[in-house]
Structure 1
Amino acid sequence: MKKAFRTERSAAELYADDPERADALVWNRRGALKGAALAAMGTAVGGAISFSAQMPEGTLPALFTRPAAAQGASGPQMMRIDGKVEMILQGERPLVLEAPETALDDAVTPNDKIFVRNNGQLPEVASNPDGWRVTIDGEVNTPLTLTVAELRSRFQNVTLQLQMECGGNGRAQFQPQTRGNQWGNGAICNAAWTGVRLRDVLRAAGVKDSGRYTGHFGADPHLSGATDRAAISRGMPVAKAMDEDTLIAFAVNGGPIPHINGAPVRMLVPGWPGSLSQKWFTRITLLPQPHRGQGMGGTSYRMPVRPIVPGSSNDGADFADMTSMPVRSILSSHAHGTRLAAGTRSLDLRGAAWAGDHTVRAVHASVDFGQTWTEMRVAAPANRHAWQRWEGRVALPSDGYYEVWYRATDSEGRMQPHAPANWNPQGYGANAISRAAILVG
């Protein structure tokens, strides 16, 4: 073990070059770090690894597995656009921006911190937002075409704090890597949306017994410019469309929706994959069978009913559509890679947690690699389908390298797992415990 690392090569470099050899050099048969390997690992992360004896077998420091922004070129690529804070760039064509967890420290997410997930090109800005038209047709008794002004005046206006989360949030956790934007935990927002209940509009149109599913349409052109294909067009069972929190939204946080987030009107289907919350919303059709639009069927927003071999190909024939999103938490008080002053002996943590259609029952944090857990205080949601803020304090016995592990448990007793489960080709549903590296001293 004394010769595990040469002085000119860090542990991080060794793992980048040859992970299998690095494992053989670093970990003994019991899977514990010791001697020169432990010292080299500490040098690589910038300080002695506190609670190293409790590191689970094969676990690498989080700074190796997820580079921090503070590490410069090796950290995530950042971008700032007009109307948004600096965000993590996940894709340029189409534009996809993720909010860093520390940007999500507000109880109500401001407009400039709402993540960006485009599927096609941006449509032109509406010259007359109040005149924008929305059509309701298909299996209804009275097809309707209503302007935004008519929606406002004809139906009850409601304002709700609602979680909206990309179906692929957490995708970067999967190994082997899957297709799609490699999201961390920041494809989430909890803004205050104003609009009308979709169910009120559907009732006005008179949904027939045969109208069991919806299909959604927007004005955003396909990325290729093709006019015979939609950028995205998803749908859901009519029961979710009739949920009292499913909205046709025309305002957010007391003002117009930003164009890049779907102005002048969008759907808001909280708790389910954000792809259902059609941006630049123009039409909803009622159908007797599931919608067959872009983003439906196959492996799109669908999960295996039975586990499949990670890395294998699959046509999604036995997959099921994603519905309620899994329980997840974020840490907004401290960024991954934070360095604190020597002598710091406690951390006041805070963040948010949510669980799709369910609520969050508990949040716990650990600084000793999961050996012990401290229960955090969890606030009640502002309303159904809003996230819940949490806070609490953990003790740090000495200077050194720590990892804050944080996990949430939903109202059904389901806890975030230690590793992402149910691998699938497009990387949906990964909600493993998160780890933030903290260096004291």
Structure 2
Amino acid sequence: MTELVPVLSATWADEKSWSLDTYTAAGGYAPLKKALGMAPGDLIQAVKDSGLRGRGGAGFPTGMKWGFLPPDDGGPRYLVVNADESEPGTCKDIPTMMSAPHALVEGVIITSFAIGCNHAFIYLRGEVVHVYRRLLQAVREAYEAGHLGKNIHGSGFDLDVTVHAGAGAYICGEETALLDSLEGRRGQPRLKPPFPAVAGLYARPTVVNNVESVASVPSIVDKGVEWFTAMGTERSKGMGLFSLSGHVTRPGQYEAPLGITLRELLELAGGIREGHELKFWTPGGSSTPIFTQDHLDTPLDYESVGAAGSMLGTRALQLFDDTTCVVRAVTRWTEFYKHESCGKCTPCREGTYWLTQILKRIEKGQGTQADIQQLLDTCDSIAGRSFCALGDGATSSIISSVKLFREEYEAHVEQGGCPFDHAASALFEYADAPEEAHA
């Protein structure tokens, strides 16, 4: 059996794991002192050599992203941590910040030192008030301990950290929409170029990294590049949090090397709930094409998942057994994307609305065979044509589900309704919602 490698989650079960005392007792902030004795360029090179890739979904090399910053011109540059975790199924960053906020704070300090930033921001989804308070407490403790502020540990390095609570919008997970929101504007994606590394927050060079990416930096500094590269695969190095939810016996966070398979994770998680079999699952959240049992042995790394036709994304493994109606699941996801579309571009704004109308019609047994093809045609009008990746994400589950379960869509049409016992799934409420009123 594959063993887990608790690194970020190592102290989650400790008493008051969120406190500075607990984190320090486990070796916390020792990497910071080590990093302050290194040259910033050496820190950036170490992260490059580690092969750490962005853990927010895109998988872009973290050290390379840091290296895109232009030469210092004497003006400010910023680090912004994307903690706006909002996608259905994605639930790794919030427990990290809740259970070990100092891992993120220490990562912020080391990253800021490496890139020459003196003011960093953590942009958090505003609805998670309990996490917001815990982050504020962690930042306050770090100031009191001398890890933040002026002349940190006599190094001459100054850093302030601001925790900012957003108003609650999925689109603000897109880095440029996040920056607009942080500046007090409506959260909508910016036209690129220029990229944030050149003109980001307040039109200054900015690095935007995910929570897990930044929180992984202290362990790399502490234990070394070779330790990190010994885990994972050739091109997907290190460990990651895999979030198992849905019809699984023991849902939760499983920290394991990249390249582990769902079959191995299910063995650790007790398998699919008793009496049932896996039907379909998402490897990286609701914005990624779905997989089936045929993909149980696909290594969960960026390259293997991509080669199999999906994306590793945020490693949000939503598992659905044989009681689940795939049309209903896809409809629910699509309703989310319709609601969260910022409205900036026509393909996404209008396309997601019409996708939900067609899906609801099919699910209720009022659709036709032509509606199934219309779904695919509408997806083709959105994918690759929207301003940001939200449009692509909205179409992923539809295109892949029709490809893998077309007969199920056809059954809804031919039988005049859903062939599944809705109560047996126990994941969704199937009470018919009132029809939306339109002027």
TM-score range, shorter chain: under 0.3
Could you say which structure has the larger radius of gyration? 1
